[in-house]
Structure 1
Amino acid sequence: MRGQTISALELAAAVALFLGAALYAFHIQTMVDGGISAVGRMTQEQHAGVITVEMTNENRKLIYKGSEVLFTLREVQAGGFNMYVDGVLFQSGSNPEELDLSIIDLEAHYDAEYVRRIDGEVESIQFVKVR
């Protein structure tokens, strides 16, 4: 009788551990699903015409179209970082509607150089027109 009681307690403990692990996995999946939904909502308003040019194998630099450079101004407006386009500074937190955007050629391609702080956060992005 004592052996059966111990077996029943071990089975109950195993079932409790299994249910706890399943509940934890469900909780993690819910958090991941929420994150994916949030990213979907954030990128919903992006223009479908904004496509990053594929990286080339020669120099491994990111190349952006002029329209993508303009789109990056939204992050500058949010105060994320400073942006330079051919040496012209777009200050963090500035309103793109008040800036002279004629410096950005929509048909051109731009090399992007990311300047990071010690903690890895982007301090500024420098776009230089590819000639």
Structure 2
Amino acid sequence: MIPLARWLAAGSVCCGGFLFSPVAAQSATMTIPGLGQMLAGDNSARALKCSGDAVTVSGNSNKLTLTGNCSQVVVNGNKNVVTVVAVGQIVLNGKQNTVTWIRSLKGAKPMTRITGTGNKIVKK
């Protein structure tokens, strides 16, 4: 059995007594009040609608299209590709992730924070 702290440190999502591990071949989505929408898993293609909330992607090689207004987009993992229509802040962690944005909610461009290597933020 893997200790909870080590499992969470590996990128698992915990909420409401349920644990979701990004080791799964498919992804799972959930909405957590106050935190926004979360997608965990690998190799999936999804479209989600933002209603002023945040979206967190945890996993690898996901393709995600976000419509509506997203207050924040956080991408954890590697080789994720996200297209977002309107965003306030973009945070990229991991390697070789790409976020393409169309419109900023605040000013000329969204606030950004990039860690890891090979991550890109592109205006469409």
TM-score, normalized by length of structure 2?
0.26
Counting helix residues as a fraction of each chain, which structure ranks higher? Answer: 1
TM-score, normalized by length of structure 1?
0.26
Give the structure with higher Rg (CA): 1
Counting strand residues as a fraction of each chain, which structure ranks higher? Answer: 2
